[in-house]
Amino acid sequence: MSATAHPETAPELSESGRWRRYAVAAGFLAPAAIMLGVWVVYPTVYTAWRSLYDREGDDFIGLDNYKTIFTTDILVTAVKNNALWVLVVPAFVTAVGLIFGVLTEKISWAVAFKTAVFMPMAISLFAAGVIWRIMDQKEPERGTVNAMIGVVADYVNPPGALPTAFPATPGLTGSESEGYTLRRPVPTGGTALLPLTGIPPEDVPAGATQAVQPERQVGAVTGVVWRDFKPGGGTIGKVETQELGLPGVTVELLDSSGEQVGSTTSADDGTFAFEDLEAGTYRAKIGTQTFQKPFDGVPWLGPSLITPAAMIAYIWVWAGFSMVVIAAGLAAIPRDTLEAARTDGASEWQVFRRVTVPLLAPVLSVVFITMLINVLKVFDIILSVAPGSVQDDANVIALAMWRTSFGGVNDFGLGSAIAVFLFVLVIPILALNVRRFRREV
């Protein structure tokens, strides 16, 4: 840092006085210059140069390392994932911050709300990943997120009476998702026997009693749904003692053209009846809702959802940053401007769209750009949120760089190339920043 390279004229000072002042300035700058030179500038140049050499650093291989980035599966995944991060997360964080900022503007307990949302900012991204790994466990009994989704899912789609059951005889055809239909048509006055099996004792619906052979009834189709399993054996397709009726099963009756003409649920002894039917033949069917499985959890930590899961954790951390910066921007908007718009008859939504957002644009772009830079360098949260087996699926550029260089592969050539690639992605943002700062200088 040669502070004395271009001596400028400072008329009021003598030559020696000026040099003395430059020397003092150099003294103040020296520690920073050394630190930045040795730890930032020199390494940046070295890494760029090193990226053109092979793993050992002996052979110059041109751009081969860069080619490798785009031809190796896990590195391509990293680039794709990072692209997804860039597309989704900055926009989402900015939007969430804007919504929270606007909503809290007029409530008296805004400080408490902001503290709650801002708090994760103090937590390391690594610990945040640990937290969400716990939250995202698959089983609804253990994972908080799936437990919450499960409450809603089981309300919308109540689990069926017999999620594991299947037909005991080939006489019932179909599938869990279509329901099972009795192959043999039943005439009015006939009976339909619907044997099911594959029901563990603890899953037998409460209140089930001994199954009963249905009685024939004129002008009706009667039948029974039962657990066709007798300890120690028995005859398949036959109602026997110790075999339980299955209550709560949805039975549908179809006419000869396959049109549904009735639906009922079985009684405690498994029996059901469709009465007052026109003479003819019908088919009995066990409805799909009977086999509806209870919500068994979204595999957040599985290979296909691990990136969204990590993004949710990341947004949880950064929403507070966005909210606080945007709230400060909102507070700086002159009240009069908003009032004037309202007086002119603008609705709250119009005020928001036409006045607030345009005035906030500089602040929104600051948040967006900051998040863009952060997201390009996302690293720690992946290491903790993603189980080892799916880390390849969750790979991002910064993580790929570290794993390639230090995580066992130890290829400094390729690692350098990935670092440079990351740097190149950041440069356009750097240009934006420099422009912004220069205006302030």
Footprint (CB under 8 A) of other proteins, residues 301-330: 316, 319, 321, 324-325, 328-329
| Calpha distance 196→212 (Å, rounded) | 14
Q: Hey, what are 111's tokens?
A: 């400080």
Site for other proteins in 80-139 (CB under 8 A): 100, 103-104, 106-109, 112-113, 115-128, 130-135
Residue 371's nearest CA partner among 77, 92, 80, 83 is: 92
CB of 177 vs other proteins, minimal distance in Å: 30
Alpha helices in 109-194 (DSSP H): 110-118, 125-135, 144-156
Q: Which stretch binds other proteins (CB under 8 A): 199-207, 224-232, 283-291, 400-408?
A: 400-408
Choose which of 363, 375, 394, 396 interacts with other proteins (CB under 8 A). 363
**CB of residue 358 to other proteins, shortest distance in Å:** 17
Residue 115 burial (CB < 10 Å; 0-12/13-18/19+)?
exposed
Footprint of other proteins on 219-248 (CB under 8 A): none
- The alpha helices in 256-356, defined as continuous H runs, are 306-332, 335-343, 348-350
Contact call for residue 53 and other proteins (CB under 8 A): no
Is 68 a binding residue for other proteins by CB under 8 A? The answer is no
Strand partners, 362: none
Q: Smallest gap, in angstroms, from Cβ of residue 170 to other proteins?
A: 39
Q: Is 149 in the site for other proteins (CB under 8 A)?
A: no
| 118 vs 352, beta carbon nearer other proteins | 118
Considering the complex, state which of residue 118 and residue 166 has its C-beta at the smaller distance from other proteins.
118
Closest CB to other proteins among residues 154, 240: 154
By CB under 8 A, tell whether 142 contacts other proteins: yes
Q: Give Cβ neighbours of residue 12 (< 8 Å, ≥ 6 apart).
A: none
Between strands 186-187 and 281-286, the pairing is antiparallel
Is 70 near other proteins (CB under 8 A)?
no
Q: Shortest distance, CB of residue 383 to other proteins, whole angstroms?
A: 7
Q: What are phi and psi of 212, to 5 degrees?
A: -125, 135
Q: How far is CA 56 from the centre of its chain?
A: 40
Q: Rounded distance, CA 122 to CA 124, Å?
A: 7
50 binds other proteins (CB under 8 A): yes
Q: How far is the CB of 313 from other proteins (least distance, A)?
A: 8
Which residue in the set 305, 370, 390, 395 belongs to the binding site for other proteins (CB under 8 A)? 370
